[in-house]
Amino acid sequence: MSAWISLLLHPLHGFFSGAKENDSTNCRFCSSSGEEKFVNKCAFLTPSIDEFVRHKCQIKPQLAWQCRPAFEDLPLKPEHPKASSWGFWGDNDELGTLNLLVPDVVLQASWEIRTGQVVPLKSATLVAVPKYQANTTSSLPLDCPLRPMNPLRKQCVHRINAKGHANDDELDLNTQSSSHWDGLRHYPYQNTLQYYNGVTQSDISGPNPNSKIGIQNAAQKGIAGRGILLDWRSYALRKGIKYSPFEAHAIPLAELLEVAAEQRVTFSPGDILLIRSGWMEEYNKMTTQEQDDLGKREHRSFCGVEATREAIKWHWDNAFAAVAGDTTAYEVWPSTKPWGVAMHE
């Protein structure tokens, strides 16, 4: 249901030092403390180094997955928010880790196609038929959930403008409904209210707004790569794990690793991670009244991935291009922020 690309799309700022593009033997990484480190045989100099390094040696996207500094070295500028990687693809970058989806990565993903079967991950129809009847294989209609999980979000309204000789469809739709991507303008660092690469709320909705870091950037070439599905739902049922998708049940990283091992899944840089929690399956079992009541709850809670330091680091270390899931927020919500930040940040 929710495809989330917020923290994971916060890129890193780093630079090559003392090596040619295809020569990793002389690369080194200088952490913010000045200590030299070798990371994947590639290296970076933090932005605190002289400006000429920025001008001469800015990292190229096709090498980014090989040349990222360790998670422990984030952020690369002390004034940047916790665990952010702003500036890695340049101060004006608007894609973040979608930069990892270079042609070679997409081509390699295509080699794994076996059956050619297409599985839609977006809304395929306006209204489900029959509406909201349990069906775990269909995509979400635009008016699902029946009532948005956040009371500040409007319900979908569909009108047909019958003009006698033709029909026009008119939609009032909050883009946080149905299947969607969370873009980089959706959720800022809560302490500073800054979005990716320092974009402010004024940039988005002030007197002179701009379209910086908007989702339209992802649409320029689309999001195509290797999808990895971790079916935690089946794992939980098999293991007898008692939980409700509509409560703040945190999915531990250890269980995701077990699922990956059972499925014999190995990760590659640029993968698009999909996690099945069973949220939609349980939602579709509800009556219309129960679905309506779910959106009226004063305290909204949903299952999702834990936001521990270890889980956030795991996402970074695996160089996922994006993540998505069938639950409302991907991460457990509300986030208890065990490491001080929500994954959304």
What is the number of alpha carbons within 13 Å of residue 270 lying toward its C-beta? 21
Highest mean pLDDT among 54-63, 118-127, 261-270, 292-301: 261-270
> Which residues are within 8 A (CB) of 219 and not within 5 positions of it... i.e. 6 or more apart?
none
Q: Provide the pLDDT for residue 313.
A: 96
Helices (H), 40-102: 51-57
Over 80: is that where the pLDDT of 228 sits?
Answer: yes
299 or 319, which is more confident: 319
Token pair 């703040």 is found at 248
Both tokens of 29, joined, read: 């990484």
With a pLDDT cut of 70, the percent of the chain lying above it is 73
Q: Provide the pLDDT for residue 194.
A: 93
Both tokens of 246, joined, read: 């509509």
38 or 84, which is more confident: 84
Q: What is the DSSP string of 95-116?
A: -GGGGG--HHHHHHHHTT-SS-
Over 60: is that where the pLDDT of 115 sits?
Answer: yes
Which amino acid, one-letter code, is at 68? R
Over 60: is that where the pLDDT of 16 sits?
Answer: no
d(CA 234, CA 109): 25
With a pLDDT cut of 90, the percent of the chain lying above it is 37
User: What mean pLDDT comes out for the span 172-194?
Assistant: 84
Q: Where are the domains of the chain?
A: 64-121+179-325, 123-176
pTM above 0.85, yes or no: no
Least confident interval from 149-163, 179-193, 241-255: 149-163
140 confidence band (pLDDT: 50, 70, 90): low
User: What mean pLDDT comes out for the span 207-234?
Assistant: 92
